[in-house]
Amino acid sequence: MSGEYARRVPPRALPVAMAAVAGVLYATGSLLGWGGNAFIAWAEAGAAGAAAISLLLSARRPAGGPADTAPGGLWRASWRWYGIAAASWFLGALGGALSDGQGRSALSLSVPDLFYLFALVALVVGLVAPIRLPRDAGTWLRYAADTYVCACALFVLGWVALFGTLYHRSGESPTEFLLELLYPLIGLVFVCGALPFVLGAVRGHRRLAWMGYGALTAIAVADIVTTFVRLDGGGPSDDPSDILRLAGLLLLLLVPWTGPAAEPEPPVDDIPEDVDEPDWPGRSGEEWGRMIGPGIAPAAIAAATALFIAGHSLTGQNGLEPGISIAAGSAALVLIARLAGLLRENDELRRAVDTGEEHFRALSESINDAVLICDLDATVQYASAGALRTYHYEPEELLGRPLHEIVHPEDLPRVQEVFLEVLDDEAVDEALRVSCRIRAADGTWLPTESTISRYSGSDGTPARLLVTTRDLSEQAALQRQVAHLTFHDGLTGLPNRSYFEERTREVLSRQQSGGEVAVVFVDLDGFTAVNDSEGHAAGDQVLAQAARRLRANVQSDDTVARWGGDEFAVLVQLPPDDTETRATVELAGRLLRELSADPYQVGNKHIVLTASVGIAFAGDEEQPAGTGGGNGSEAGRRLRRTAADLLRNGDLAMARAKGLGGGRVEVYAPHMHADVVRRLELGSDLQQALAEEEFAIEFQPVVDLATSRVTGVEALLRWWRGGEAVPPEEFIGPAEESGLMVPLGDWVLREACREVARWRGDSWDVGLSVNFTARQIAAPRFVESVAAALEETGLPPQALTLEVREEVLVEDAGQNVERLSELRDLGVRLAIDDFGTGYASLAYLGQLPVDIIKIDPSFVAGLGSDETLTLLTRTIVRLGSDLGLAVVAEGIERPEQLELLREMGCPRGQGFLVARPMAAGRVESLVRTNLEAHAQSGDVPLPLPG
């Protein structure tokens, strides 16, 4: 068979065809008498066994397979009971085949008969399993009455048509004959009793239910036929009921292969009935069936039985033609059919109404909005479940109650105005909105938004009012939360910068004459190291503890805020007296002690930090001219400017305290602002000066202290601003902060290398020293730029010495030392400038790639007057000599200093006594004079140049 043909054949066609062929062969063999009773018994056992295997194996198949083969859990349970029924029938048929097919009768009850009875019970259980059983007694009473009427009608019909004559001919007692009819009676009861469960099967699974019910009916009819043949004196070979039994077993065999019918997805607004019951199957993705009717079925059967009996009586006694009873019976049946149609339509309408009511009930209970129906006097007539749930009222507490009793008195006039507008005859028939506060059952007032509309009666006049109210409590709480998050810091819970600025403007706007307003800015010293070493979580704990300490040490009406990062700000309001300034300074000192005295607890560690505190007073800033007049907008701008200036001054004072080493309190002074402005101006002017080449280079000679010979020069940057020299200490810092130090350093290096290379071209053995900062060394392509400058100017690498401060090598030893080591590999020498001022120089000296150490001028200044400094200088000179390092003493200004350095064996030095910084031309004259003098005197020390 080709694949295309296989795809055209439905998957269930093959088992259906096989079952049909088996049924035809069995029927043919049964009618023709093939193999006698043994063939029939064994064939029946085989069909029952096949059905049992098919059903039980299919019931074990997991859900989630193909749509036509994978039932839900409920229908797998139904299949399991079908399989149990088929297995029980197999055991009964097997027992009957082994006992040579004895007849089934209650008078000769055998073990196989018990299996047959249990099979019928299992079939009925399989039909009931997927049905949700009712819980009220009335429904079960109606069910019992309908089953009784149906069974009695069928019994009477069978008695008149079949068994009445046999009873009179048998000569048996009523009890004995009733036992003969026991199996047919049981079958009738099961058939009638199972009908309501088949009718109520859920859509999509009804075919499976009808197949099981068909098997049950076939077996029950087969028992009736078998009993009639046996009582009429016929033998087993005359009994055709085996065909009916086989048909029922084949129906069970085909149940797993037909599967549930495909059904469309339910609409999204379908709401199952009785959703509050705990056993509602929709929670697991399945739907229960329900018990229905059987309604008109018992009446139809009873009517047909009565007509049959009446017709039988008339034709038997009076000799009337059968056509009379047929006509009367058909008319009654048509009338019953018409009544059945009307009942069905009525049942559909009732279900539609019930569904609508159920949807409305579920909708009203699921929404949060409160729905109220009021009369024209605003008295509540109906309250939805949402209203009772939202406001915690009992139904009797809200129904019949006027609305004005639960509306806030302040909002009541506005609500009454809206009600009157809705009731106005000339008003447009549309809903109006109103916001008000509603009192809940516990006495709290809830913010709400209500929509009020009216219903119109048949004459067009308003009859009732519909009020839909939405609780806005969560929205209001969310707005408050958003406002709090907008103006508060999430970590410390303190007000944030925005709130503090607004609060400062507010306090200054209502400042009383003579009163004082001040701000105190606080910064934690060394906080960045906490984040770097312990992590940001530890830093957050430190900030939270610092915030609690600040809040605990200020007045209740003072405002403490987190300004940003590790900075805090305090807004202080002081009474007008002479001690206001002193009180603020005392507060700042107290805050400094609280933040610095006790360590911060982070896990099992204690972290000690200090703080920098700055103070600014509102009167410190000079007011602009014309403050006595002007319009309101000008006053507002002045107020904003005053608040901004006050906050700026406090920040400047704090920065001043931090720049002086931290752990101190600084009060704002006007020169602080002037210094900042000057630094900003310098940064701007530096850009212009670099472009206009206002910079120059001076060289300070370095001499051999033993011979006074010039061995090198140190390049120094000078700035001539408008013809005036700007001290290096004033512009080096701003240049470093603005990033201009990198291009300035490149320019100094190239110009100095070019000049010294020219001198060396004249056979002058002079070296060059150039200072470099940490930012210059960390700049991209630093090594390449130095190498390029040497190659461009022709200066040998060994003639260049890079001078760096020792903290550059210690604080970021990894990157800085690596780059300097690359230059040292090229032949460039490295010198530590201002050696001995800290950073554990002696401990690191043996590990750093240096060639020269330059003694800090503070040590040289104490030679001959300070024994400690003299001893330290002697130690440094000796240490350099032992380590093979060249030593240069800086800041030589007095002859006694020079003599002591010569006595200590210091090889080189520089300072004002040796030579001041000078232009390149003067250096040339000095070097030329120095060389000529040495040529005449040899190695005899010469007087140092002045």
Cβ-proximal residues to 195 (8 Å cutoff; 6+ apart), any chain: 150, 213, 293, 294, 297
| pLDDT at 795 > cutoff 50 | yes
Give the residue among 289, 291, 290 at the shortest CA–CA distance from 143: 291
HEC string for 185-216: HHHHHHHHHHHHHHHCCCCCCHHHHHHHHHHH
Distance CA 31, CA 103 (A): 18
pLDDT digits (tens, 9 = 90+) for 404-454: 888 888 888 888 888 888 877 555 567 788 888 888 888 888 888 888 887
Of 45 and 415, more confident: 415
- Rama region for 608: left / alpha / beta (φ>0; ψ in -120 to 50; rest): beta
Q: Which of 34-43, 308-317, 505-514, 760-769 has the lowest mean pLDDT?
A: 308-317
| pLDDT at 655 > cutoff 50 | yes
Cβ-proximal residues to 451 (8 Å cutoff; 6+ apart), any chain: 431, 432, 433, 467, 468, 469
pLDDT band at 468 (very low <50, low <70, confident <90, very high): confident
Contact 395, 429 (CB under 8 A): no
Among 130-134, 163-167, 353-357, name the most confident range: 130-134
Q: Across residues 901-929, what is the average pLDDT? A: 86
Q: What is the DSSP string of 547-605?
A: HHHHHHTS-TTSEEEEEETTEEEEEEEE-SSTTHHHHHHHHHHHHHHHHHHSPEEETTE
pLDDT band at 666 (very low <50, low <70, confident <90, very high): confident
CA 306 and chain centroid, separation: 73
Q: Across residues 710-720, what is the average pLDDT? A: 88
| pLDDT at 522 > cutoff 90 | yes
pLDDT digits (tens, 9 = 90+) for 214-230: 888 888 888 787 777 77
What does each C-alpha distance from 363 to 38, 266, 368, 386, 396 come to in angstroms?
Answer: 65, 17, 10, 10, 22
Give the residue among 394, 436, 442 at the shortest CA–CA distance from 417: 436
Q: Across residues 375-386, what is the average pLDDT? A: 80
Q: Which of 560-564, 573-577, 770-774 has the lowest mean pLDDT?
A: 573-577
Estimate the crossing angle of helix 182-199 against helix 137-158, to 10 degrees.
130
Distance CA 56, CA 256 (A): 9
DSSP SS3 for 466: strand
Q: Across residues 504-523, what is the average pLDDT? A: 79
pLDDT digits (tens, 9 = 90+) for 52-80: 787 777 777 554 443 334 445 666 777 78
Contact 47, 94 (CB under 8 A): no
Distance CA 874, CA 191 (A): 122
- Rama region for 814: left / alpha / beta (φ>0; ψ in -120 to 50; rest): alpha
Distance CA 455, CA 374 (A): 10
Q: Across residues 825-836, what is the average pLDDT? A: 86
The pLDDT of residue 906: 92
Q: Across residues 387-403, what is the average pLDDT? A: 81
Cβ-proximal residues to 292 (8 Å cutoff; 6+ apart), any chain: 196, 199, 200
Among 101-110, 392-401, 747-756, name the most confident range: 747-756
- Which amino acid makes up residue 702? V
Tokens coding 441: 């059952």
The pLDDT of residue 24: 56
pLDDT digits (tens, 9 = 90+) for 164-205: 777 777 777 777 777 777 778 888 888 877 887 877 777 767
Q: Would you report the helix, strand and coil content of the chain in percent, each value rounded to 5?
A: 60, 15, 25
Give the residue among 714, 711, 721 at the shortest CA–CA distance from 697: 714
Contact 135, 290 (CB under 8 A): no
Mean of per-residue pLDDT scores for the chain: 75
Q: In this structure, what are the phi and psi dihedrals at residue 718, rounded to the nearest 5 degrees?
A: -130, 145
Tokens coding 176: 């004995």
pLDDT band at 212 (very low <50, low <70, confident <90, very high): confident
Of 724 and 317, more confident: 724
The pLDDT of residue 813: 58
pLDDT band at 28 (very low <50, low <70, confident <90, very high): low
The pLDDT of residue 796: 92
DSSP SS3 for 731: helix
pLDDT band at 39 (very low <50, low <70, confident <90, very high): low
- Which amino acid makes up residue 533? S
Q: In this structure, what are the phi and psi dihedrals at residue 205, rounded to the nearest 5 degrees?
A: -120, 10
Bridge-based pairing state of the strands 605-607 and 724-726: unpaired
pLDDT digits (tens, 9 = 90+) for 253-297: 777 777 654 444 444 333 344 433 334 334 344 567 666 666 556
Within the chain, how many helices (H) and strands (E) appear?
A: 34, 23
The pLDDT of residue 627: 38
The pLDDT of residue 291: 67
Residue identified by tokens 């200066």 is 795
Distance CA 876, CA 845 (A): 11
In this structure, what DSSP letter does residue 160 have? I
| pLDDT at 241 > cutoff 80 | no
pLDDT band at 568 (very low <50, low <70, confident <90, very high): very high
Distance CA 651, CA 437 (A): 46
pLDDT band at 840 (very low <50, low <70, confident <90, very high): very low
pLDDT band at 523 (very low <50, low <70, confident <90, very high): very high
Bridge-based pairing state of the strands 567-574 and 829-835: unpaired
The pLDDT of residue 425: 59
Whether a cis peptide bond, with omega within 30° of 0, leads into 294 is yes
Q: In this structure, what are the phi and psi dihedrals at residue 764, rounded to the nearest 5 degrees?
A: -95, 120
Distance CA 757, CA 166 (A): 143
- Which amino acid makes up residue 771? N
| pLDDT at 364 > cutoff 70 | no
The pLDDT of residue 768: 92
Distance CA 226, CA 232 (A): 10
The pLDDT of residue 259: 62
Tokens coding 348: 């559909």
Q: Across residues 481-486, what is the average pLDDT? A: 75
Q: Which of 113-122, 250-259, 378-387, 400-409 has the lowest mean pLDDT?
A: 250-259
The pLDDT of residue 95: 74
DSSP SS3 for 627: coil
Q: What is the DSSP string of 308-335?
A: HHHHHHHHHHT---HHHHHHHHHHHHHH
Residue identified by tokens 């925005």 is 498
pLDDT digits (tens, 9 = 90+) for 732-755: 777 777 778 888 888 889 999 999
| pLDDT at 492 > cutoff 80 | yes
Cβ-proximal residues to 936 (8 Å cutoff; 6+ apart), any chain: none
pLDDT above 90 coverage of the chain, percent? 7
pLDDT band at 908 (very low <50, low <70, confident <90, very high): very high
| pLDDT at 936 > cutoff 70 | no
The pLDDT of residue 520: 92
Question: Could you tell me the end-to-end alpha-carbon distance of the chain, in angstroms, rounded to an integer?
Answer: 117
| pLDDT at 721 > cutoff 70 | yes
Of 5 and 509, more confident: 509
Q: Across residues 362-378, what is the average pLDDT? A: 74
DSSP SS3 for 916: coil
